[in-house]
Amino acid sequence: MKAPVKTSRARLTTAVVLVTAVASTTLVPGAASASHPASTEDRLTLRQLQRETARVLAEGRFVGITVRVRDGARTVRARAGEAELHTGRPVPRGVAFRIGSVTKTFVATVVLQLVAEGRLSLDDTVERRLPGVVSGNGNDGSRITVRNLLQHTSGLHNYGPEEDTGNTAADFERTRFDHWDPEQLVAGAVRHRPDFPPAPADDPEPDWNYSNPGYLLAGMIIERVTGRPWAVEVRDRIILPLGLTGTYAPGDDPYLKPPHAHTYHRFPGSVTWTDTTARNVSSAGAGAALVSTERDVDRFFTALLGGRLLPTAQLAEMRRTVSVGEDFEVGFPGLRYGLGLMQQPLTCGGDTWGHGGDLEGFTVRTGFTADRRRSVVVVANGTGGDEQRLAAERAVRGLVDRALCGGVG
């Protein structure tokens, strides 16, 4: 996920749209929310989902987009735009994509599994688990807990390598294959004073800021506790048991496995797209490095929210959310954050659960009803500045809301 967007309007542009959809199995009725079921009139038809996908492509000014909606046992997929600019080639079905910060939910799940096993506590401090790693400039690892890291209430500055390498298209091209160790990135964060003091566990409305370095620290703690890298623990504890055949941590490999679409970003000062598909995502690490598929993301969240990955107590901790504050809510109205899990209200009542993900070039949004009967996974390629991000967020959010409130029929 990126920093909050503070612009209020965006100019929409036209796009040449290629739209297809595919449905499978039989519809099983399910509630749109905790408050009421959807009527037949509320449900999206296949044709309507196609039109909505095309609309989101245009309003978000994306290059390509795929949408997967599950309603009970029925799954509907729609796609629009291009897999690669100027080719007319549609986004492939079953596409592999970087999931960005959706990775955080996987990592938080492993941490909470370790808590359930008695090998770690949410009240453990960073200093206890990683002595001397967070110190200086007012940063004090003895005051930051594991809960703070997972909840984004540590106050740790949200450092990214572009702060030092630059954030233009030329900077990206120069550094796209560079390797970054998590220790380097945490060191960059602690060069800054903390944004606020770490929140105590019983604070109902703590200060909050999105901090990728907090999840890099969580990954480092997983390795310190288990003796194995976070990615190996995610693989053995989540990916293999759930049969997530398209999900993996790429390490330093900059290339996506086929089939995949290209990702594009307009960097500051540039009016043209930069292809960001091939890149080393070690700088994202335990905060945003995983690759997955729509099916796998759906299966993961459905299993998680259904209690298959965590005991009741730890799942309750994950779902205990706090407000993200006014700045972040500009782009994500009503959003609340738990331990690696996002909660957002639906217009029909109830909430959607999941997590979003962004890196230069793509946006991933997920939504799951509380009863897990309905889900939406949206993957869009082609990102730009603040105005585009705000328009894109509104368009995608509207699609997720309608699909979860109405389902498909």
DSSP per-residue codes, 193-251: PPSSPPPPTT-SS------HHHHHHHHHHHHHHHSS-HHHHHIIIIIHHHT-TT-B--T
Question: What structural domains does the chain harbor?
Answer: 24-362+371-389+399-406 (3.40.710.10)
pLDDT at 406: 86
36-50, 52-66, 293-307: range with lowest mean pLDDT = 36-50
Query: Do residues 70 and 374 make contact, with C-beta atoms less than 8 angstroms apart?
Result: yes
| Segment among 46-50, 224-228, 318-322, 368-372 with least mean pLDDT | 46-50
Nearest to 110 by CA among 383, 339, 403, 406: 339
User: Residue 40: what pLDDT?
Assistant: 53
The predicted pLDDT at position 408 comes to 79
Two structure tokens written together for 265: 């970003």
Query: Would you say residue 292 has pLDDT above 90?
Result: yes
> Taking residues 334-358, what's their average pLDDT?
96
| Residue 17 confidence (pLDDT) | 31
**187 dihedral zone (left: phi>0; alpha: psi -120 to 50; beta):** alpha
Give the per-residue pLDDT at 5: 36
Question: For the whole model, what pTM was predicted?
Answer: 0.91
With 0-12 / 13-18 / 19 or more C-beta atoms within 10 angstroms meaning exposed / middle / buried, residue 246 is middle
Distance CA 191, CA 194 (A): 9
Statement: residue 88 has pLDDT above 90: yes
Question: 13-27, 230-244, 344-358 — which is least confidently predicted?
Answer: 13-27
CA distances from 393 to 48, 378, 400 (A): 20, 11, 10
pLDDT digits (tens, 9 = 90+) for 313-329: 999 999 999 999 877 87
C-alpha distances in Å from residue 245, one per residue of 3, 57, 99, 242: 31, 28, 15, 9
pLDDT at 28: 30
| CB distance 29 to 37 below 8 Å | yes
Whether 264 contacts 275, CB under 8 Å: yes
What is the DSSP secondary structure assignment for residue 4, as one 8-state letter? P
- Percent over 70 (pLDDT), the chain: 89
Query: Which pLDDT tens digit goes with each residue over 13-43?
Result: 223 233 333 333 322 333 334 344 455 556 7
Helices and strands in the chain: count of H runs, count of E runs:
15, 16
- What is the mean pLDDT of the segment spanning 98-121? 98
